[in-house]
Amino acid sequence: MTEKNSKLNDKSFKMTIIAIFIPICLISIIPLWVIFVASFTQDKAISDYGYQLWPKIFSLEAYTYIFTTPGLIGRAYLISTIVTVTGTIVGVTLMSMLAYTIAHRNFKLSKGLGFYVFFTMLFSGGVVPYYILVTRYLHLKNTIWILILPLLINPFSVMLLRTYFRRLPQSLFEAAELDGAGEFQIFFKIALPLSKPAIATIGLFSILSYWNDMYQALLFIDDQRLYPLPYLLYRIIFEHNIIQEGAQYTGTITPYQSVRMAMAVLAIVPILSAFPFIQRFFIRGITLGGLKGE
């Protein structure tokens, strides 16, 4: 019967899947593993032997180097976390509400808003006008807000969300409306719970864009106490591409390569640890409920 057929299908299918996925996974994991290993390798060994799958000569020098640079690492982690968490939560809320209005079928402005959002992906005013706006008119230079506000709304995410929302069955909404529900209630009680995977995706993208952002800091932050993590790490490394002509002080040799790797590890690890939490939303079957009653 169909059962037997699908079982057979499953077997050969599974084989195919494994055959495809194993090499892909290897290609995806190995670089990360190599980075991790390199961060614990002695710099000289990287230079001599290249990147290896296991530390040729184990060493903590990269991490020592980073953590003994006059102690701003902790603060940078804090700033990055605050910015990411606040930004993501607020941003996801704003974006989902906005996407909802764009996806709404009975709303006059929906198409207009959609275009309004989308247009920003095509054109931007350029660095100088943006800089002038932020520093002279908004006075947001060197504040924590400039790290959060500009990235709150990601047009790509909004358009994605709108597409997800559109696909939700219209009947649900009509039923709720007849029951006398207000828009907010429809949004929170119906639309959101059904879109958990989408929201999770958007949240993930938001987290990533905040965590890795260096551009806002590069332009607007001079105060070292407000440096987000990637920017601080970037500065620590690039501080040492110095003038070749006589520095005044002598320092010790910077373990360049391994420090860069350690830097990458430090930036990636927090995201990796957040991953399991997001994962829950990508399991098939969880979000169904909908018409069948909750």
Sign of the CA dihedral 237, 241, 246, 252?
positive
The count of other CB atoms within 10 Å of the CB of residue 216 is: 20
Regarding 176 and contact with other proteins (CB under 8 A), the answer is no
Site string for other proteins, 210-249 (x = CB under 8 A): --x-----xx--xxx-x---x----xxxxxxxxxxxxxxx
Regarding 11 and contact with other proteins (CB under 8 A), the answer is no
* DSSP bridge partners of 58: 41
Residues 156-175 that bind other proteins (CB under 8 A): 156, 158-160, 163-164, 166-167
Regarding 250 and contact with other proteins (CB under 8 A), the answer is yes
Residues 30-49 that bind other proteins (CB under 8 A): 31-32, 34-35, 43-44, 46-48
Comparing CB distances to other proteins, the nearer of 6 and 58 is: 6
In the complex, what is the shortest distance from the CB of residue 80 to other proteins, in angstroms, rounded to a whole number? 14
Query: From the list 23, 284, 293, 294, which residue makes contact with other proteins (rule: CB under 8 A)?
Result: 284
Site string for other proteins, 62-91 (x = CB under 8 A): ------xxx-x---------x--xx--xx-
Q: How many residues bind other proteins (CB under 8 A)?
A: 157
How does DSSP classify residue 109? T
Query: From the list 57, 63, 77, 152, which residue makes contact with other proteins (rule: CB under 8 A)?
Result: 152
Residue 46 corresponds to which amino acid? I
Task: Please give the Cα distance from 159 to 149 (Å, whole number).
Answer: 19
CA atoms within 13 A on the CB side of 146: 24
* DSSP bridge partners of 41: 58
Closest CA to 192 of 102, 92, 270: 92
Helix (H, G, I), strand (E, B) or coil at 208: helix
